[in-house]
């Protein structure tokens, strides 16, 4: 019988080792090459407070997202915030904004007949508004690409003055590849995160909600990969009522996520028409209506009609029992007979009974069992 050999790596011949490193493994360094991973002791790092533009909502050097359903006013809010910053105006809570230059990149709206009128209606200082146009190199131009050109944008921004806010509308176009893929999304957003950190400029990306997600977690409703919600430091949500009328037109701006403090709460607003150029141009303008209190999910629920509950056997059984016991107790055998007619199985009927809190009782000295709804108004 052959005995198992014990491998002695210290004395193994040279040919035992594979001279080619496996894929993903760094090859051995040549003799004399110096490498090092630097470490910084926490004791030598001074803590710094968040540098706010609008305390609780917009922070310098950070990535923010504003999301919502179509026509909720996301871009109009971004324009409103840009206008406030450009003129050093007042935010909805009354706090005063430090003034600064605004960079605006949009692939969805026309500059001259959509964005410019809205900025004018919002009272922007137009000398401090700068639209990101094209990238040029050696007399060759192409559309600006956030995944490639953020370093050059930072250089251009320095030439016009200190940029306080960059608006990217929509931010999903910054992702080259699959915006539903975490790796592609992180790769696309990282240059934007780096730009914010290095320039000290707040970045506000505009995006949408995924269809059919009403009632879900607001952060998870942001369209695309979960990396959009993970990389952003502040996620703002804009919401409008499903049915807008004269008595129901208040919209809500709230925080689904904040890495710097509390989330939730926010402000009510409406979008009102405003005429410009002697009535030749009509555009929308934000009017703030006061504070909104509550979690983001709760505030969104005030504006949305919940999705229709999917009909299941248990739901049918619950509706059957509610209707049957609405006028008072019914003998158990009668309930069983009716449920069979309605093709409701006994186990499903008992589950519905438990969910509604229906009780089995003998009433008025009878030896028969009755099903009783404990409190009809409760249901």
- pLDDT, tens digit, 9 for 90 and up, residues 132-170: 988 988 888 898 988 888 999 999 988 888 899 999 998
pLDDT value for 343: 80
pTM: 0.71
pLDDT value for 31: 62
Range 41-53 average pLDDT = 94
Report the candidate in 324, 325, 322, 318 with the shortest Cα–Cα distance to residue 352. 318
- pLDDT, tens digit, 9 for 90 and up, residues 63-113: 999 999 888 899 999 999 999 999 999 999 999 999 999 999 998 888 998
Token pair, residue 309, equals 């509950």
Q: Which residues pair with 102 in a beta bridge?
A: 129, 165
pLDDT value for 306: 61
255, 237 Cβ separation under 8 angstroms:
yes
- pLDDT, tens digit, 9 for 90 and up, residues 57-77: 999 999 999 999 888 899 999
Say how far apart CA 70 and CA 195 lie, in whole Å.
Answer: 28
Q: Which residues pair with 238 in a beta bridge?
A: 253
pLDDT value for 263: 93
Say how far apart CA 341 and CA 12 lie, in whole Å.
Answer: 82
End-to-end Cα separation, the chain, in angstroms: 79
C-alpha gyration radius of the chain: 31
Q: Which residues pair with 143 in a beta bridge?
A: 134
Say how far apart CA 219 and CA 301 lie, in whole Å.
Answer: 14
pLDDT value for 72: 87
Token pair, residue 190, equals 């990282």
Dihedral sign (CA 127, 133, 134, 139):
negative
Residue 230 host element (H or E): helix 227-231
- Is 300's pLDDT higher than 60? yes
The fraction of the chain above a pLDDT of 90, given in percent, is 42
Whether residue 104 has a cis bond before it, omega within 30° of 0: no
- Is 53's pLDDT higher than 90? yes
The DSSP output letter for 222 is: B
| CATH 1.20.272 correct for 313-378 | no
CA 187 to chain centre: 18
Domains of the chain by residue range? 52-301, 313-378
Average pLDDT, the chain: 84
- pLDDT, tens digit, 9 for 90 and up, residues 253-283: 999 999 998 999 999 999 998 888 888 888 9
> What backbone phi and psi angles, to 5 degrees, belong to 131?
-90, 130
Dihedral sign (CA 345, 350, 353, 359):
positive
For the domain covering 52-301, report its CATH number: 3.40.50.300
Token pair, residue 129, equals 């508004």
pLDDT value for 134: 87
168, 206 Cβ separation under 8 angstroms:
yes
**pLDDT tier for residue 18 given thresholds of 50, 70 and 90:** very low
pLDDT value for 1: 45
Of residues 57 and 185, more confidence is placed in 57
Q: Please state, as a whole number, how many other Cβ atoms lie within 10 Å of the Cβ of residue 66.
A: 27
With 0-12 / 13-18 / 19 or more C-beta atoms within 10 angstroms meaning exposed / middle / buried, residue 279 is exposed
Report the candidate in 251, 254, 300 with the shortest Cα–Cα distance to residue 271. 251
Of residues 48 and 212, more confidence is placed in 48
């Amino acid at each position: 019988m052959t005995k198992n050999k014990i491998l002695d790596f210290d004395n193994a011949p040279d040919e035992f080792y594979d001279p080619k490193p496996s894929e993903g493994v760094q090859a051995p360094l040549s003799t004399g090459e110096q490498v090092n991973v630097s470490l910084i002791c926490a004791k030598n790092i001074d803590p710094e407070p968040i540098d706010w533009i609008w305390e609780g909502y917009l922070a310098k050097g950070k990535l923010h997202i504003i999301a919502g359903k179509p026509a909720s006013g996301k871009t109009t809010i971004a324009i409103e915030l840009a206008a406030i910053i450009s003129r050093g105006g007042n935010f909805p809570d009354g706090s005063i904004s430090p003034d600064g230059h605004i960079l605006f990149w949009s692939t969805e709206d026309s500059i001259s007949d959509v964005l410019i009128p809205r900025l004018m209606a919002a009272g922007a200082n137009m000398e401090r508004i700068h639209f990101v146009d094209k990238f040029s190199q050696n007399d060759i131009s192409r559309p600006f690409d956030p995944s490639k050109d953020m370093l050059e944008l930072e250089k251009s921004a320095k030439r016009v003055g200190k940029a306080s806010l960059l608006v990217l509308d929509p931010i999903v176009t910054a992702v080259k590849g699959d915006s539903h893929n975490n790796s592609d999304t992180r790769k696309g957003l990282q240059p934007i995160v780096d730009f914010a950190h290095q320039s000290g400029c707040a970045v506000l990306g505009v995006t949408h909600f995924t269809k059919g997600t009403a009632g879900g977690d607001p952060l998870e409703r942001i369209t695309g990969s979960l990396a959009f919600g993970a990389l952003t430091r502040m996620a703002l949500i804009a919401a409008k009522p499903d049915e807008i009328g004269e008595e129901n037109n208040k919209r809500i701006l709230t925080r689904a996520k904040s890495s710097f403090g509390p989330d939730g709460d926010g402000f009510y607003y409406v979008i009102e028409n405003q005429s410009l150029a002697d009535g030749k141009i009509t555009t929308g303008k934000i009017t703030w209506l006061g504070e909104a209190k509550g979690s983001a999910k709760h505030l969104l629920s005030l504006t949305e009609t919940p999705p229709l509950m999917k009909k299941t056997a248990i739901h049918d059984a619950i509706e059957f029992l509610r209707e049957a016991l609405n006028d008072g107790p019914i003998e158990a055998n009668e309930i069983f007979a009716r449920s069979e007619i309605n093709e409701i199985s006994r186990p499903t009927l008992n589950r519905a009974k438990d969910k509604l809190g229906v009780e089995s009782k003998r009433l008025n000295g009878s030896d028969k069992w009755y099903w009783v709804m404990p409190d009809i108004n409760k249901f």
